[in-house]
Amino acid sequence: MLAQLALPIAQGGGPVIPTFQRGSDCVRENRQFCWDWFSSHWSSTFQPRLIEHIELTAIAVGIGFVIAFVAALVAYRWDWAVNPATAVFALVYTIPSLAFFQLMVPFTGLTRLSAEIALVSYTLLILFRNILTGLREVPADALEAAQAMGLTRRQTLWRVELPLAMPAIMAGIRIATVTIISLATVAAFIGVGGLGEPIFNAIQTGFKTQFIAAGVLAVLLALVTDAVLVVVQRLLTPWARAKVG
């Protein structure tokens, strides 16, 4: 009985100072899902975590894309760079995230920087492979035509190769983004916020509503983002859509 009474105090991610508010019956009995609790904690607990989650993901995919893009261009131009780059990116990719986040802490502390270093690292292999594959699969005819039209190497890259590689590049961004949304929940383990935070808090309290609310929000974020990126991909590559239709 005591533990149940303590529940509404400990959860919520707010101050730990007991407020002795009276929770609803649903909250006190820790029923499956308490809408009243969720709606009253949306603006204090869930909305800020959702925004943090989006920020963590956007920064990681953004920086990861710049690094992977440069690496892929280098590897596209100079073939010998492919294997070492792939090996390094694959190596960091295999580190379990729970360990990676913790291992950054001695160097950069319990900060967003630690989380972002790990998250960026996980994007590199996916983005690098997709950008490189996209560039390599540009038809030789298109390159020849570009050359015949007198385009310089730089012009060929920006006007022919990259647009034709766009479907593969977008597919990479899509996979990388949903992967990072997933991994960013784990980043809360080192206290950088995001939707993982209410999950880790719920593990301390056993409060079901919080488990389900945070989990469902993270799943929705991932699915909605995935769907939005599919639409963006279609808008960026109208010719691919014409072929299908």
Partner 1 sequence: MQSIIDAFQFIGDNLHFMLTKTLEHLALSGAAIAVSLVIAIPLGVTLGHLHKGSFLAINASNIGRALPSLAIISIGIGILGIGFINVMVAMVVLAVPPMLTNAYVAVDGVDPDAVEAARAVGMSPRQVLWKVEIPLALPLMFAGIRTGAVYVVATATLAAIAGGGGLGDVIVNQASYGTEGVIAGALMVTALAFLVEGLFAVIQRLLTPRALRHEEGPVELLAPVIEGT
- Using CB under 8 A as the binding rule, whether residue 212 contacts partner 1 is answered as yes
Closest contact distance (angstroms) between CB of 145 and partner 1 is: 32
Distance CA 120, CA 149 (A): 39
Binding mask 105-144 for partner 1 (x = CB under 8 A): -x------------------xx--x---------------
- Using CB under 8 A as the binding rule, whether residue 96 contacts partner 1 is answered as yes
Angle at 165 between CA 139 and CA 172, to 5 degrees: 140
Tokens of 58: 């956007």
Q: Residue 186 CB: number of other CB atoms within 10 A? A: 20
- Using CB under 8 A as the binding rule, whether residue 185 contacts partner 1 is answered as yes
For partner 1, the binding residue among 3, 58, 70, 99 (CB under 8 A) is 99
- Using CB under 8 A as the binding rule, whether residue 21 contacts partner 1 is answered as no
8 A C-beta contact, residue 74 and residue 81: yes
- Using CB under 8 A as the binding rule, whether residue 75 contacts partner 1 is answered as no
For partner 1, the binding residue among 50, 71, 195, 197 (CB under 8 A) is 195
User: CA distances (Å), 61 to each of 43, 53, 71, 78, 205, in order?
Assistant: 26, 12, 15, 25, 33
Give one DSSP letter per residue of 121-170, joined into a string: HHHHHHHHHHHHHHHHTS-HHHHHHHHHTT--HHHHIIIIIHHHHHHHHH
Name residue, tokens 């603006």. 43
DSSP tag of 20: -
Closest-CA residue to 184 (of 175, 176, 174, 194): 194
- Using CB under 8 A as the binding rule, whether residue 168 contacts partner 1 is answered as no
Name residue, tokens 């894309």. 65
- Using CB under 8 A as the binding rule, whether residue 206 contacts partner 1 is answered as yes
- Using CB under 8 A as the binding rule, whether residue 90 contacts partner 1 is answered as yes
Closer residue to partner 1, CB minimum distance, 59 or 178? 178
Applying CB under 8 A, the span of 12-20, 38-46, 62-70, 181-189 interacting with partner 1 comes to 181-189
Closer residue to partner 1, CB minimum distance, 166 or 212? 212
8 A C-beta contact, residue 122 and residue 131: no
For partner 1, the binding residue among 37, 46, 76, 189 (CB under 8 A) is 189
CA-based diameter of the chain, in Å? 82
- Using CB under 8 A as the binding rule, whether residue 42 contacts partner 1 is answered as no
- Using CB under 8 A as the binding rule, whether residue 228 contacts partner 1 is answered as no
- Using CB under 8 A as the binding rule, whether residue 70 contacts partner 1 is answered as no
Residues that bind partner 1 (CB under 8 A): 32-33, 90-91, 93-100, 102-103, 106, 125-126, 129, 175, 178-179, 181-183, 185-186, 189, 195-196, 199-200, 202-203, 206, 208-212, 214-219, 222-223, 225-226
